[in-house]
Amino acid sequence: MKKNVSLILFIIGVLIIGVPQFRILLNELQTATQLQSYTEVVEVYPEQDLNIYMETLEQINSNPQTESSQAVSEVPIYNDPFIVEVAPVEYEVTKKLFPDGVIGSIYIPKIGEQLPIYNGATNEHLALGAATVAGTSLPVGGEGTHSVISAHRGYARANYFRHIDLLVPGDKILITILKKTLTYEVTGNQVVEADDPSSLGFEKEQDLLTLLTCHPYMINDKRLLVHAKRVPTTAVAPTFASVVTQREVIAEEGQEIVSDEPTSVSEQPTVQEQKRESLTPINRVKSFVAVTFKFNSETILAPVKRNLLLNRGIVLLSMIAIFIAFCLLIRNLFHLRGK
Protein backbone atom coordinates (compact mmCIF):
# COMPACT_ATOMS: atom_id res chain seq x y z
CA MET A 1 0.00 0.00 0.00
CA LYS A 2 2.83 2.38 0.89
CA LYS A 3 4.40 1.71 -2.51
CA ASN A 4 1.18 2.73 -4.24
CA VAL A 5 0.94 5.94 -2.24
CA SER A 6 4.55 6.72 -3.11
CA LEU A 7 3.90 6.10 -6.79
CA ILE A 8 0.82 8.34 -6.74
CA LEU A 9 2.78 11.12 -5.04
CA PHE A 10 5.57 10.63 -7.58
CA ILE A 11 3.12 10.95 -10.48
CA ILE A 12 1.66 14.13 -8.95
CA GLY A 13 5.16 15.58 -8.57
CA VAL A 14 6.06 14.78 -12.17
CA LEU A 15 2.81 16.34 -13.38
CA ILE A 16 3.54 19.54 -11.45
CA ILE A 17 6.91 19.79 -13.19
CA GLY A 18 5.91 18.48 -16.60
CA VAL A 19 2.48 19.98 -17.28
CA PRO A 20 3.69 23.62 -17.65
CA GLN A 21 6.33 22.50 -20.15
CA PHE A 22 3.84 20.32 -21.99
CA ARG A 23 1.47 23.30 -22.27
CA ILE A 24 4.24 25.32 -23.94
CA LEU A 25 4.84 22.57 -26.51
CA LEU A 26 1.10 22.09 -27.05
CA ASN A 27 0.68 25.83 -27.63
CA GLU A 28 3.45 25.77 -30.25
CA LEU A 29 1.74 22.87 -32.04
CA GLN A 30 -1.65 24.59 -31.99
CA THR A 31 -0.10 27.81 -33.30
CA ALA A 32 1.64 25.92 -36.11
CA THR A 33 -1.64 24.26 -37.11
CA GLN A 34 -3.46 27.60 -37.11
CA LEU A 35 -0.81 29.32 -39.24
CA GLN A 36 -0.64 26.39 -41.65
CA SER A 37 -4.40 26.48 -42.12
CA TYR A 38 -4.34 30.25 -42.67
CA THR A 39 -1.56 29.93 -45.26
CA GLU A 40 -3.26 27.15 -47.19
CA VAL A 41 -6.59 29.00 -47.27
CA VAL A 42 -4.87 32.14 -48.58
CA GLU A 43 -3.02 30.12 -51.23
CA VAL A 44 -6.29 28.98 -52.83
CA TYR A 45 -8.17 32.25 -52.34
CA PRO A 46 -9.06 34.26 -55.48
CA GLU A 47 -6.31 36.76 -56.30
CA GLN A 48 -8.80 39.54 -57.02
CA ASP A 49 -10.34 39.22 -53.56
CA LEU A 50 -6.93 39.14 -51.88
CA ASN A 51 -5.99 42.35 -53.66
CA ILE A 52 -9.20 43.98 -52.46
CA TYR A 53 -8.50 42.95 -48.86
CA MET A 54 -4.94 44.27 -49.03
CA GLU A 55 -6.14 47.56 -50.49
CA THR A 56 -8.63 47.86 -47.65
CA LEU A 57 -5.92 47.34 -45.02
CA GLU A 58 -3.66 49.89 -46.72
CA GLN A 59 -6.53 52.38 -46.89
CA ILE A 60 -6.99 52.07 -43.13
CA ASN A 61 -3.41 53.32 -42.65
CA SER A 62 -4.05 56.27 -44.97
CA ASN A 63 -7.50 57.08 -43.60
CA PRO A 64 -7.96 60.86 -43.29
CA GLN A 65 -9.04 60.33 -39.68
CA THR A 66 -5.57 59.01 -38.86
CA GLU A 67 -3.45 61.30 -41.02
CA SER A 68 -3.17 63.90 -38.28
CA SER A 69 -1.74 61.29 -35.94
CA GLN A 70 0.82 60.19 -38.54
CA ALA A 71 2.62 63.49 -38.93
CA VAL A 72 6.39 63.48 -38.85
CA SER A 73 7.71 62.32 -35.47
CA GLU A 74 4.31 62.91 -33.86
CA VAL A 75 3.64 60.53 -30.98
CA PRO A 76 0.52 58.39 -31.53
CA ILE A 77 -2.43 58.28 -29.17
CA TYR A 78 -1.35 55.23 -27.22
CA ASN A 79 -2.63 52.98 -24.44
CA ASP A 80 -0.33 50.31 -23.06
CA PRO A 81 -1.91 47.00 -24.17
CA PHE A 82 -0.78 45.22 -21.00
CA ILE A 83 -2.61 47.73 -18.79
CA VAL A 84 -5.57 48.99 -20.82
CA GLU A 85 -7.54 46.74 -23.18
CA VAL A 86 -8.41 48.89 -26.21
CA ALA A 87 -9.52 47.65 -29.63
CA PRO A 88 -8.39 49.89 -32.53
CA VAL A 89 -10.91 52.04 -34.39
CA GLU A 90 -10.63 49.91 -37.54
CA TYR A 91 -11.30 46.66 -35.64
CA GLU A 92 -14.83 46.20 -37.04
CA VAL A 93 -13.53 46.56 -40.61
CA THR A 94 -10.81 43.95 -40.21
CA LYS A 95 -13.09 41.71 -38.18
CA LYS A 96 -15.45 41.63 -41.15
CA LEU A 97 -12.63 40.39 -43.36
CA PHE A 98 -11.03 38.12 -40.74
CA PRO A 99 -13.68 36.90 -38.25
CA ASP A 100 -11.17 35.11 -36.02
CA GLY A 101 -9.02 38.25 -35.82
CA VAL A 102 -5.89 36.81 -37.48
CA ILE A 103 -4.66 39.16 -40.21
CA GLY A 104 -1.25 37.57 -40.76
CA SER A 105 1.87 36.28 -39.04
CA ILE A 106 5.20 37.42 -37.65
CA TYR A 107 8.34 35.29 -37.98
CA ILE A 108 11.54 36.00 -36.02
CA PRO A 109 14.20 33.52 -37.20
CA LYS A 110 16.76 34.19 -34.44
CA ILE A 111 14.37 33.16 -31.67
CA GLY A 112 12.41 30.57 -33.66
CA GLU A 113 9.03 32.21 -33.10
CA GLN A 114 6.31 32.33 -35.73
CA LEU A 115 3.07 33.73 -34.34
CA PRO A 116 -0.32 34.78 -35.66
CA ILE A 117 -0.92 38.54 -35.69
CA TYR A 118 -4.30 39.56 -34.32
CA ASN A 119 -5.77 42.97 -34.95
CA GLY A 120 -6.24 44.59 -31.55
CA ALA A 121 -4.19 43.84 -28.43
CA THR A 122 -7.09 42.58 -26.35
CA ASN A 123 -6.48 40.18 -23.47
CA GLU A 124 -7.91 37.35 -25.57
CA HIS A 125 -5.65 38.07 -28.53
CA LEU A 126 -2.52 38.48 -26.39
CA ALA A 127 -3.23 35.06 -24.89
CA LEU A 128 -3.19 33.54 -28.39
CA GLY A 129 -0.20 35.25 -30.02
CA ALA A 130 0.95 38.68 -31.17
CA ALA A 131 -1.36 41.65 -31.74
CA THR A 132 -1.37 45.14 -33.20
CA VAL A 133 -1.44 48.10 -30.82
CA ALA A 134 -4.20 50.71 -31.08
CA GLY A 135 -3.05 54.09 -32.37
CA THR A 136 -0.33 52.63 -34.60
CA SER A 137 -0.29 51.44 -38.22
CA LEU A 138 -1.48 48.08 -39.42
CA PRO A 139 1.56 45.97 -40.46
CA VAL A 140 1.05 46.26 -44.23
CA GLY A 141 3.95 48.63 -44.91
CA GLY A 142 4.15 51.99 -46.59
CA GLU A 143 6.00 55.27 -46.15
CA GLY A 144 5.17 57.19 -43.02
CA THR A 145 3.86 54.13 -41.19
CA HIS A 146 4.91 52.73 -37.83
CA SER A 147 3.41 49.44 -36.79
CA VAL A 148 3.70 48.30 -33.18
CA ILE A 149 3.17 44.61 -32.47
CA SER A 150 2.88 43.37 -28.91
CA ALA A 151 3.03 39.95 -27.27
CA HIS A 152 3.52 38.52 -23.81
CA ARG A 153 6.97 37.66 -22.55
CA GLY A 154 6.35 35.91 -19.25
CA TYR A 155 3.23 34.02 -20.31
CA ALA A 156 2.84 30.74 -18.42
CA ARG A 157 1.95 28.52 -21.36
CA ALA A 158 3.99 30.01 -24.22
CA ASN A 159 7.27 31.75 -25.02
CA TYR A 160 5.95 34.32 -27.52
CA PHE A 161 8.27 37.39 -27.20
CA ARG A 162 10.24 35.97 -24.26
CA HIS A 163 13.58 36.10 -26.09
CA ILE A 164 13.30 39.29 -28.15
CA ASP A 165 15.85 40.91 -25.83
CA LEU A 166 18.43 38.74 -27.62
CA LEU A 167 17.80 40.44 -30.97
CA VAL A 168 20.60 42.72 -32.17
CA PRO A 169 20.93 45.23 -35.03
CA GLY A 170 20.86 43.40 -38.35
CA ASP A 171 18.52 40.60 -37.26
CA LYS A 172 15.48 40.11 -39.48
CA ILE A 173 11.76 40.12 -38.72
CA LEU A 174 9.31 38.90 -41.37
CA ILE A 175 5.69 40.03 -41.46
CA THR A 176 3.28 38.17 -43.74
CA ILE A 177 -0.19 39.57 -44.44
CA LEU A 178 -2.18 37.42 -46.88
CA LYS A 179 0.42 36.84 -49.66
CA LYS A 180 2.50 39.92 -48.96
CA THR A 181 5.75 39.43 -47.05
CA LEU A 182 7.58 42.40 -45.55
CA THR A 183 11.08 42.22 -44.09
CA TYR A 184 12.29 44.48 -41.30
CA GLU A 185 15.82 44.77 -39.94
CA VAL A 186 16.40 45.38 -36.25
CA THR A 187 18.03 48.75 -35.56
CA GLY A 188 18.17 48.60 -31.76
CA ASN A 189 16.17 48.22 -28.57
CA GLN A 190 15.35 50.23 -25.49
CA VAL A 191 13.61 49.95 -22.15
CA VAL A 192 10.95 52.55 -21.35
CA GLU A 193 8.25 53.20 -18.80
CA ALA A 194 4.92 51.49 -19.45
CA ASP A 195 3.19 54.78 -20.24
CA ASP A 196 5.93 56.27 -22.44
CA PRO A 197 5.03 56.31 -26.18
CA SER A 198 7.72 58.82 -27.17
CA SER A 199 9.63 56.22 -29.23
CA LEU A 200 6.61 55.12 -31.23
CA GLY A 201 6.21 58.21 -33.40
CA PHE A 202 5.83 58.25 -37.18
CA GLU A 203 8.65 59.41 -39.46
CA LYS A 204 8.23 60.78 -42.95
CA GLU A 205 9.32 58.40 -45.74
CA GLN A 206 10.11 55.68 -43.19
CA ASP A 207 8.46 52.27 -42.86
CA LEU A 208 8.99 51.29 -39.23
CA LEU A 209 8.16 48.35 -36.98
CA THR A 210 8.45 48.05 -33.20
CA LEU A 211 8.02 44.93 -31.09
CA LEU A 212 6.59 45.67 -27.65
CA THR A 213 6.65 43.43 -24.59
CA CYS A 214 6.99 43.54 -20.80
CA HIS A 215 10.32 43.98 -19.00
CA PRO A 216 12.14 42.77 -16.96
CA TYR A 217 11.15 39.15 -17.47
CA MET A 218 8.64 38.06 -14.80
CA ILE A 219 8.59 41.54 -13.20
CA ASN A 220 6.96 43.43 -16.06
CA ASP A 221 6.83 46.97 -14.67
CA LYS A 222 8.60 48.45 -17.72
CA ARG A 223 8.43 47.89 -21.47
CA LEU A 224 11.03 46.51 -23.87
CA LEU A 225 10.94 47.95 -27.38
CA VAL A 226 12.75 46.38 -30.33
CA HIS A 227 12.89 48.81 -33.24
CA ALA A 228 13.24 47.81 -36.90
CA LYS A 229 13.08 49.41 -40.34
CA ARG A 230 11.86 48.04 -43.67
CA VAL A 231 14.42 46.43 -45.98
CA PRO A 232 14.05 44.53 -49.28
CA THR A 233 12.43 41.12 -48.95
CA THR A 234 14.51 38.22 -50.23
CA ALA A 235 12.76 35.29 -48.54
CA VAL A 236 9.40 34.23 -47.17
CA ALA A 237 8.50 32.88 -43.76
CA PRO A 238 8.62 29.07 -43.67
CA THR A 239 5.46 27.02 -43.65
CA PHE A 240 5.44 24.23 -41.09
CA ALA A 241 6.06 20.82 -42.65
CA SER A 242 6.58 22.58 -46.00
CA VAL A 243 3.20 21.45 -47.29
CA VAL A 244 2.60 24.72 -49.08
CA THR A 245 4.68 25.68 -52.08
CA GLN A 246 6.66 28.79 -51.19
CA ARG A 247 6.00 31.68 -53.50
CA GLU A 248 8.48 34.05 -55.03
CA VAL A 249 8.42 37.45 -53.34
CA ILE A 250 9.18 40.64 -55.24
CA ALA A 251 12.37 41.85 -53.59
CA GLU A 252 11.60 45.49 -52.99
CA GLU A 253 7.86 45.86 -52.82
CA GLY A 254 6.50 42.41 -52.03
CA GLN A 255 3.22 43.44 -53.68
CA GLU A 256 0.72 41.35 -55.56
CA ILE A 257 -0.82 42.28 -58.94
CA VAL A 258 -3.88 44.44 -58.44
CA SER A 259 -6.99 43.50 -60.38
CA ASP A 260 -8.23 45.90 -63.08
CA GLU A 261 -11.80 45.26 -61.97
CA PRO A 262 -11.99 46.07 -58.25
CA THR A 263 -15.22 45.31 -56.46
CA SER A 264 -16.58 46.19 -53.08
CA VAL A 265 -15.07 44.27 -50.18
CA SER A 266 -18.47 43.97 -48.57
CA GLU A 267 -19.62 41.85 -51.52
CA GLN A 268 -16.80 39.37 -51.16
CA PRO A 269 -16.71 36.27 -48.95
CA THR A 270 -14.39 36.52 -45.97
CA VAL A 271 -11.14 34.60 -45.72
CA GLN A 272 -12.72 32.34 -43.12
CA GLU A 273 -15.61 31.47 -45.44
CA GLN A 274 -13.05 29.87 -47.73
CA LYS A 275 -11.88 27.43 -45.04
CA ARG A 276 -11.54 23.79 -45.91
CA GLU A 277 -10.00 20.65 -44.44
CA SER A 278 -6.48 21.74 -45.27
CA LEU A 279 -4.42 19.64 -42.88
CA THR A 280 -4.38 15.93 -43.62
CA PRO A 281 -3.22 13.45 -40.94
CA ILE A 282 0.18 13.06 -42.59
CA ASN A 283 0.66 16.82 -42.71
CA ARG A 284 -0.28 17.06 -39.05
CA VAL A 285 2.44 14.53 -38.27
CA LYS A 286 4.95 16.49 -40.34
CA SER A 287 3.94 19.68 -38.56
CA PHE A 288 4.34 17.97 -35.18
CA VAL A 289 7.86 16.81 -36.07
CA ALA A 290 8.85 20.23 -37.46
CA VAL A 291 7.73 22.06 -34.33
CA THR A 292 9.05 19.52 -31.84
CA PHE A 293 12.52 19.53 -33.39
CA LYS A 294 12.73 23.18 -34.40
CA PHE A 295 15.73 23.58 -32.08
CA ASN A 296 17.74 22.01 -34.94
CA SER A 297 17.34 25.21 -36.95
CA GLU A 298 20.68 26.85 -37.71
CA THR A 299 19.20 30.33 -37.42
CA ILE A 300 18.07 30.02 -33.79
CA LEU A 301 20.35 31.52 -31.14
CA ALA A 302 22.09 29.19 -28.67
CA PRO A 303 20.22 30.40 -25.53
CA VAL A 304 16.89 29.80 -27.27
CA LYS A 305 18.01 26.35 -28.42
CA ARG A 306 18.92 25.45 -24.84
CA ASN A 307 15.51 26.60 -23.66
CA LEU A 308 13.78 24.53 -26.34
CA LEU A 309 15.89 21.47 -25.57
CA LEU A 310 15.11 21.82 -21.86
CA ASN A 311 11.41 22.04 -22.63
CA ARG A 312 11.43 18.99 -24.91
CA GLY A 313 13.60 17.07 -22.47
CA ILE A 314 11.31 17.71 -19.51
CA VAL A 315 8.25 16.75 -21.57
CA LEU A 316 9.86 13.52 -22.77
CA LEU A 317 11.23 12.49 -19.37
CA SER A 318 7.93 13.33 -17.68
CA MET A 319 6.01 11.14 -20.12
CA ILE A 320 8.44 8.26 -19.62
CA ALA A 321 8.38 8.62 -15.83
CA ILE A 322 4.58 8.74 -15.68
CA PHE A 323 4.28 5.72 -18.00
CA ILE A 324 6.66 3.66 -15.85
CA ALA A 325 4.97 4.78 -12.62
CA PHE A 326 1.53 3.84 -13.97
CA CYS A 327 2.81 0.44 -15.06
CA LEU A 328 4.21 -0.19 -11.58
CA LEU A 329 1.01 1.06 -9.97
CA ILE A 330 -1.14 -1.25 -12.10
CA ARG A 331 1.17 -4.18 -11.38
CA ASN A 332 0.93 -3.52 -7.63
CA LEU A 333 -2.85 -3.29 -7.79
CA PHE A 334 -3.10 -6.64 -9.61
CA HIS A 335 -0.68 -8.11 -7.09
CA LEU A 336 -2.91 -6.93 -4.20
CA ARG A 337 -6.01 -8.35 -5.86
CA GLY A 338 -4.20 -11.67 -6.33
CA LYS A 339 -3.68 -11.89 -2.59
Per-10-residue mean pLDDT of the chain, 339 residues long, equals: 86 94 94 86 85 87 53 65 77 74 93 93 92 91 93 88 96 94 96 90 91 92 96 74 37 38 45 52 80 91 95 96 94 77
Give whole-number Cα distances, 103 to 40, 85, 96, 298, 315, in Å.
14, 19, 11, 28, 32
pLDDT number for residue 37: 82
Active site residue 146: no
For 33, phi then psi, to 5°, come to -65, -40
The single residue of 152, 163, 215, 227 carrying the catalytic annotation is 152
pLDDT number for residue 272: 52
pLDDT number for residue 163: 96
Q: Length of the chain in residues, anyone?
A: 339
pTM for the full model?
0.83
The single residue of 125, 146, 163, 214 carrying the catalytic annotation is 214
Active site residue 327: no
CA angle 104, 108, 114 (to 5 degrees): 45
pLDDT number for residue 79: 80
Summarised one tens digit per residue, pLDDT across range 30-71 is: 999 888 888 888 888 888 888 888 888 888 887 644 443 444
Delineate the domains of the chain, giving CATH numbers in brackets. Answer: 2-257+280-330 (2.40.260.10)
pLDDT number for residue 53: 87
Q: Pick from 134, 229, 249, 233: which is nearest to 186 by CA?
A: 229
